[in-house]
Amino acid sequence: MTIYMKKPQLFPYILIPLFVVFLILQIRSWIVKPEAETAVLQKETTSVIFPDGFDVKAEVVRTPEAQAQGLSGREALKPEEGMLFFLEEPGKLAIWMKGMRFPIDALWIRHGTVVYAVYNAPVPEVGKKIPSFYPSEEADTILEVPAGTAEAHGVSVGTEVRVEEVDENSL
């Protein structure tokens, strides 16, 4: 007489617990965002003060990738908002209007003094070359604000502006 034993099935003992662990990890990833993801959402900000006391609340961008993105793709800025580019070293960094949806004023600043300015830089027109602007002077920071802001507050080449210390609490 031959006795045949049924092979034990591994499915319920191995695969079901693995599936449960996978499901728990997936649900956790939907609920809890890793620090690296939430850091992207946090913005470093500072103030740039014009001579008339106008306070631009500027988002700070430091990396070449963030600087290349700049304000591209945004719908608009509030009148008191801007973007401040801290350059790794002083230079003649150009800006371009790729993906821009609103005109801006761009101010190249060196040691707190505006050394070059572009007023009312236009948005790109469909089918035409993307506007780019090249400063004639080296700068250590570039401030972009809504078009008309610089003129409305008397800011031009030679104007001194004050860049506040970066707000570490904004991180």
Structural domain spans, the chain: 10-41, 43-170
Please determine, looking at this structure, whether the domain spanning 43-170 carries the CATH number 2.60.120.1140: yes
The pTM assigned to this predicted structure is 0.73
Kindly give the pairing relationship between strand 81-91 and strand 139-146: antiparallel
- Return the pLDDT at 53: 96
Q: What is the pLDDT of residues 85-134, one digit of tens each?
A: 999 999 999 998 999 999 999 999 999 999 999 999 999 998 899 999 99
- Return the pLDDT at 27: 75
The enclosing H or E element of 24 equals: helix 16-31
Would you tell me how many other CB atoms lie within 10 Å of the CB of residue 87? 19
Residues whose CB is less than 8 angstroms from the CB of residue 109 and which lie 6 or more positions away in sequence, other chains included? 115, 139, 140, 141, 142, 143, 161, 163
Q: What is the pLDDT of residues 10-60, one digit of tens each?
A: 556 666 776 777 677 777 666 655 544 444 446 889 999 999 999 999 999
For the segment 68-80, the average pLDDT, to the nearest whole number, is 92
